[in-house]
Amino acid sequence: MLPHDRSSFTQGLEIADGTLYEGTGLHGSSRLRATDLATGEVRREVRLPADLFGEGITVTGDRIWQLTWQEGVAIERDRQTLAELRRVEYSGEGWGLCFDGSRLVMSDGSDRLTFRDPVTFEPVGGVDVRLAGVPAEELNELECAGGHVWANVWGSEDILRIDPASGQVTAVVDASGLLAPRDRAGTDVLNGIAAVPGTDEFVITGKNWPSMFRVRFDPA
């Protein structure tokens, strides 16, 4: 278990070079923060303008992409300083984002994952996600790891393992029961998945949760 800032309405979580990057949401409270994974010390933080509702984030080399919810804008940032470099427009809503090493994978709350060029942000394809033949909707925060896309399902405590080639859900992780009942007050849904590089472990958390959890998934 690791400490987590309860004021963070978590939308995106990623680990790179020992740094935990977290994007948060809500108008007037959205930010991007870089913390030391080992100590929890905040290294850098930037706030979004009050008219932007931050969503998913992902690291691509020396850059970070940050989505917005309904504003149709993705922000490209310098990974070291978190400074905004440019904005790119897209259609529809922005929810989750991850990078598989060659392309971005983006969710919009539906059962559709859109693939995007990591430099231009232009769409380059996509896939419909199916669980036992049924559309898997409300796909939210994403993590690309081990050739899979892991996805929080908004409003639930399930994490889906998705084959990005076929869109098939190949496993479901039941992440319920992480928070003790005494810690539940004032919290929101499970949201936030970050693979720990060089391991088979993940750090997961939720919106306004007091803790993060370092776990191994045992998919059903």
CATH number, domain of 89, equals: 2.130.10.10
Residue 105 above 70 pLDDT? yes
The two tokens of residue 120 are 């231009």
**Whole-model pTM over 0.85:** yes
Q: Is residue 144 part of a domain?
A: yes
Residue 7 above 80 pLDDT? yes
Mean pLDDT of 130-152: 96
Q: Is residue 207 part of a domain?
A: yes
Mean pLDDT of 155-182: 93
Q: How confident is the model at residue 220 (pLDDT cuts 50, 70, 90)?
A: low
Q: Is 181 helix (H, G, I), strand (E, B) or coil?
A: helix
Q: What is the mean pLDDT of the chain?
A: 94
What pLDDT is stored for residue 216 in this prediction? 92
Nearest to 77 by CA among 93, 91, 97: 97
Q: Is residue 70 part of a domain?
A: yes
What pLDDT is stored for residue 37 in this prediction? 87
Q: Is residue 74 part of a domain?
A: yes
Q: Is residue 9 part of a domain?
A: yes
Q: Residue holding tokens 């393992």?
A: 161
Q: Let me know if 101 is exposed, middle or buried by CB neighbors in 10 A (0-12, 13-18, 19+).
A: exposed
Residue 101 above 80 pLDDT? yes
What pLDDT is stored for residue 136 in this prediction? 97
Ramachandran class of 28: left when φ > 0, alpha when ψ lies in -120 to 50, beta otherwise: left
Residue 76 above 80 pLDDT? yes
Q: What range does the domain containing 22 cover?
A: 2-215
Q: Is residue 220 part of a domain?
A: no
Q: Is residue 190 part of a domain?
A: yes
What pLDDT is stored for residue 46 in this prediction? 97
Q: How confident is the model at residue 45 (pLDDT cuts 50, 70, 90)?
A: very high
Instruction: Please count the structural domains in the chain.
Output: 1
Q: Is residue 167 part of a domain?
A: yes
